[in-house]
Amino acid sequence: MKCSRGQNFSEGELQRFGNIELSPSAGVLNYGQGLFEGLKAYRKQDGNILLFRPEENALRLTMGAERMCMPSPTVEQFVDAVKATVLANKRWIPPPGKGSLYIRPLLMGSGAVLGLAPSPEYTFLIYVSPVGNYFKEGLAPINLVVENEVHRATPGGTGGVKTIGNYASVLKAQTVAKAKGYTDVLYLDCVHKRYLEEVSSCNVFVVKDNVISTPTIKGTILPGITRKSIIDVARSQGFQVEERLVAVDELLDADEVFCTGTAVVISPVGSITYLGKRISYGNNGVGVVSQQLYSALTGLQMGLTEDKMDWIVE
Ligand code: PMP
């Protein structure tokens, strides 16, 4: 789908996957005017295809587009385009229980622009790829390191939207952490250097005495759709969930820590290294709460349990 600045997106079309042509002075290449989304389609036992809350991705894209001075497709256009792309790629969706089809919508300033300004033209496209289950044999814990020098986002910046530049800013810290054997990086706020923000592509939760806490959404962390869903699922199961400032010291006596995101759903944390000290969590990180919430959410997403929340789109 394409449109000019100030216009609405018109009907899109299906095209075979391949390279796209862009002007060297396209807004996305020069000024980072790009946003993306990530969601999954699952094949159910009866052959039906399930999408999980696609309208939430559409709304997050719309919010991001406003911040990045871009037009966005309507929620209806977004969801219809996702459905059409998934249907056209139905044969690539793995059998039930074997994985899913990862869907990547991209919105970019594709028009040529030399001086700093919003692009005159925009392209919205969607590509897909089959992915296996993130965890092949049950939940496997990850090992994080708290980053003290690099911050993912600043107040007033673009940390709260899914723009491509946010990922460029974490590449170095993540590469260094991986080279040292960590799975990923846990970022702190850049003002107090004391409160948890998020991991490179996941939100973070801390469990203490059966109370589940997660950092408040305040413009510097991404409002994850899995985060929002886990909060609702946990509350519906009777857990107390607090959205608040979570201090890094709280990691020291937490019972469990876990991350949430579309790719992993829930990723239990086995250890966190903070200022050179390694904090390990019980049962190698796979806590009772993480396990329970993982089963509840994946059951819903794969169509194995009743969708009381009305989150599934067939
Ligand atoms: N934070 C960041 C920075 C991310 O890239 C993602 C992945 N989209 C998340 C959190 C989790 O968001 P979601 O649950 O919507 O996948």
130-181 pLDDT tens trace: 998 776 666 789 999 999 999 999 999 999 999 999 999 999 999 999 999 9
Give CA separation, 119 vs 23, 71, 116, 157, in Å: 11, 10, 9, 20
Q: Tens digits of per-residue pLDDT, 64-84? A: 999 999 999 999 999 999 999
Q: What is the ipTM of this complex?
A: 0.99
DSSP state for residue 137 in the 8-state scheme: S
**What would the DSSP string read from start to end of 206-264?**
EEETTEEEEE--SSSS---HHHHHHHHHHHHTT-EEEEE--BGGGGTT-SEEEEEETTT
Mean pLDDT of the chain: 94
Predicted model pTM: 0.95
> Parallel, antiparallel, or unpaired for β 256-261 and 121-131?
unpaired
The residues carrying an active-site annotation are 162
Give the number of the atom of ligand 1 that is nearest the alpha carbon of residue 229: 14
241 alpha carbon to ligand 1 midpoint, in Å? 19
| Stretch 96-100: mean pLDDT | 89
Give the number of the atom of ligand 1 that is nearest the alpha carbon of residue 225: 15
The closest residue, in CA terms, to atom 12 on ligand 1 is 224
Q: Tens digits of per-residue pLDDT, 112-121? A: 999 999 999 9
| Stretch 245-250: mean pLDDT | 98
DSSP state for residue 112 in the 8-state scheme: B
201 alpha carbon to ligand 1 midpoint, in Å? 5
Among residues of the chain, what percentage have pLDDT more than 90? 85
User: CB-based burial of residue 54 (10 Å sphere; 0-12 exposed, 13-18 middle, 19+ buried)?
Assistant: buried
Q: How many helices (H) does the chain have, and how many strands (E)?
A: 6, 16
Tell me which of 185, 197, 222, 225 to substitute to probe ligand 1's pocket, judged by most ligand atoms within 8 Å of the beta carbon: 222
The closest residue, in CA terms, to atom 3 on ligand 1 is 201
The closest residue, in CA terms, to atom 6 on ligand 1 is 201
Q: Write out residues with Cβ below 6 Å of ligand 1.
A: 38, 198, 201-203, 222, 224-227, 260-262
Indicate whether 251 pLDDT > 90: yes
162 alpha carbon to ligand 1 midpoint, in Å? 8
* Domains of the chain as residue ranges with CATH: 2-131 (3.30.470.10), 142-301 (3.20.10.10)
45 alpha carbon to ligand 1 midpoint, in Å? 28
- The Cα–Cα gap between 280 and 102 comes to 32
User: CB-based burial of residue 82 (10 Å sphere; 0-12 exposed, 13-18 middle, 19+ buried)?
Assistant: buried
- What is the per-residue pLDDT for 283? 80
| Stretch 297-302: mean pLDDT | 90
- What is the per-residue pLDDT for 200? 92
| Stretch 195-202: mean pLDDT | 96
